[in-house]
Amino acid sequence: MFEKILPDWNKFNYNEIYETLLRYGLKVIYAAIILFFGLKIIKWLTKRINNRFDKAQIDLSLKSFLTPLISIALKIALLISIINMLGIETTSFIAILGSLAFAVGLALQGSLGNFAGGVLILILKPYRIGDFIEAQGFSGTVKDIHIFYTVLATPDNKKIVIPNSNLSNSSLINYSTYPTRRLELKISCSYENNILQVKEVLEKLLKSQETILIEPEPIVILGEYSDSSIQFIARGWVKSSDYWDTLNALMLKVKGEFDNNGITIPYQQMDVHLYSSKV
């Protein structure tokens, strides 16, 4: 019974089996060695390309996009070389890979859209690494522009990841594109105050602030007569990097200057007048 189940070992050609194992085993070993050293070389080469980008002062946005792309392309070329070394038809493998890429592309249309969005961002450059932008309901500093998404860091140091397709197909605000920004303060005073005095105090305050540029000249205009106050608008131009510090400094100084000059800042209130009448 067991003789029928067990194979006849005498019929096996051990020399042929040995030669086959030796031939393909060596190929597998060589392929493993080439894969190991190939990945090391690709890592070293990618690092060298990064250094070249730094010396050539390539834009950081373009560098962070191209470096992983080059690494992926080199790894695919290494994989195809190893498959060819193992004796597998590369033409049929490439055809299979193409069909697989097509199927994956249909399944990952959103990712391909993000990739196309990343390419558009690098070509059109609506923002760069280090810019402060506002988009998709978020605002923050651009930290990285990857193949599929962009990373922002909010002022309170939160990480925001936004797909590139959303950024390339919608409106965004870039606060860092131009070197200067206009700062605007809306300050209210009471109707009892002298409006010429208020205007003069605000003008002196703007001119005394070192970070406010001389040209264009800072101005103060009377903006509105509201229900319970008079609103002034103080405008001055500053370097984009000085915007928030200047705004904070002026907001702190306004109250002190108004107090020193007897100017009152009104608050919401309601006056009720009672009249007595004889029935």
Judgement on whether residues 22 and 88 belong to the same structural domain of the protein: yes
CATH at 166: 2.30.30.60
For the question of whether the overall pTM of this predicted structure is more than 0.85, the answer is no
Owning domain of residue 46: 13-107
Judgement on whether residues 147 and 184 belong to the same structural domain of the protein: no
Total domains present in the chain: 3
Q: Give pLDDT, residue 236.
A: 93
- Tokens for 64, please give them: 């962070």
Q: Give pLDDT, residue 2.
A: 44
Q: Give pLDDT, residue 12.
A: 53
Strand order across the beta sheet in which 138-145 lies: 159-163, 149-153, 138-145, 132-135, 173-174
Q: Is residue 271 a part of any domain in this protein? A: no
Closest CA to 77 of 106, 107, 35: 35
For the chain, 279 residues long, the average pLDDT of each consecutive 10-residue run is 50 58 70 83 84 71 72 81 71 64 56 78 85 91 87 92 88 90 91 91 92 91 88 93 91 90 80 69
